Structure 1
Amino acid sequence: MIHPPDEPTQLGAGGDNAIAWAIGVFADEWTLLILRYAITDGVTRFQQWQDLLPISSAVLASRLRRGCEVGVLEQVAYEDKPLRQEYRLTRRGMSLWPMMASICGWEGAWAHGQAEPVPVMVHQGCGRAFEPLMACATCGEIVEPREVTGHFGPSGSWPRSAPNTTMRRRSSGSSALGPGFFPHTRVLVGNRWSAAMMGAAYLGAHRFSEFQRRLGAPATVIADRLRRFQAIDVLRAEGDGRADRSEYRLTDKGRAFFPVVMTAIEWGQRWFRAPEGPAVVFQHRGSEHPFSVLLRCSECRGALAGREIAVLPGAVVQPRRGAVPS
């Protein structure tokens, strides 16, 4: 099934909701990197991605084909004789820029020690390098992750939100990428179970049994992801040291990743709509209004738009206090 790129996909009642579809689209290491270069560098051609990434032709072809199927890319001929085609972002694909900007900002601030510097984003409105700040689109105030609450909406439940067997894909050996290429983001959302576990952590899961019960994931998968999340200081275990008895709490670094998750969920709910209503409903804590993301420039506090962000070659960014090297 190919999804129309410029209008929302209407989902069936009772099936996978917007969260499951969002996870199915971007929670894959290669897809994240393909989209990174498409959004930040304007890459459109097969050979360009191959020159930038240590990816096989078969894996690249499968990810580009999947991108077209879910409506984030479209094939366009740029030469007739012989026929040559490129892969351009659709409106659906371009609307992923808030998530990609949030990833760049978080990696630059928290995931230091990389082999490759993180791209520098410049707000053309003020001409300065910036980090995106999360604000409430309703009232305009800059908010911290703790000031946002969320609960399942009409189409929300763990069975409908967790990745199913048809949407999961095995890793294709992208560990060969090494320490560069958004390494910590890949740990957190580079595959289906990791992305689902991060969502569960933000929605209040703290114990091994809670992650397992909500997601229906094998115990070995839960244990592996908890170890990985602790290794990069996104979760911290509290308890007697046994995985099944400890409580896992988000660290400052883990909470700072919230804008990535939030923008991904909003993207999913914009483009994949269940007839019952949204999968998750968010509230600006202490207010009477709903919460949705508005990204602001850290330098001028102006609202950001994708067309106003220039991406420059990377530079080493000093980590925030409390960030732990990998």
Structure 2
Amino acid sequence: MQRIQYHQYGGPEVMRLEEFEPARPGAGEVLVRVRAAAANPMDWGIRGGAMKMVTGRRFPRGLGYDFAGVVEAIGRDVTRLRVGDEVLGGASIKASGAFGEMVVAEEKGVVKKPSNLSYEEAAALPTVGLTAFQAVTKKGKLRPGQTVFVHGCLGGVGRAAAQIALARGASVGGSCRATAAQDARDLGIDPIVEFDFDPTPLSGLFDLVIDTADTLKGKDAQRLLKPGGRVVGIHPTPARFARAALPGPFQVLVTQPVTKDIEEVARAAGEGTLRVPIARTVPLTEAIAALTELERDGTPKGGKLVITTA
């Protein structure tokens, strides 16, 4: 078996496509033959050592978290999944390893793939879909008929959050680049403003503000809110946790691998109410170059980089 792995924390230059021996699934774990995997910014953040207190110093470490594939083997106490099931999900932060031909993941983070989704479409879902779903429904506590403002509404999480909110009966406004405004309109987003917008004309219009771009000032976010509204940030930092601990509208999300939530994301994608665009697909043998380009240059834009193994 092959996978992309690294022998020390660092930049793109530490990535290697190497042979490895897949681990046997332990209690509550499944071994999945990966058909497709999708890149997220957290992949290179973790590879760079941003979470070494969690990931530790045992090398080599596999790279990648989001995947879709077929269950190859199951560990004891696995109850929902069987060998041969087509699945999508995410590896744990500590284990990782989705950018390879096999990956071991906890059953709680893996669900059955809707039959009408390709493996590539399914692999693009887990991180952005789950983050958006929990921001909208868990931290945001969205109810039908409410209004939502998504700052960064065409990014991965932002686009997913807008679609989830619209499907749940909300009205959605958002911010994006002026050149992409038509794309936002096509999703059903209105009003649309640029990233550096003046919040004054939108004062008091929204029950929920979701900041996916991490650039919205707290006072501006508050100005957008109706009385009793909430502001949800998806980038957990010590400063945001401190602010969220105080009385007020601010919430910070730490995405959790809740099985029912992942199933909801998969169901929405299967029904067509949630779509995560794919900008580029490459085979595993070309993935290191593509990942390096994405990390350094931010390309491709407009969708996910997906890695295939078949």
TM-score, length basis structure 1: 0.26
Higher percent of residues as helix: 1
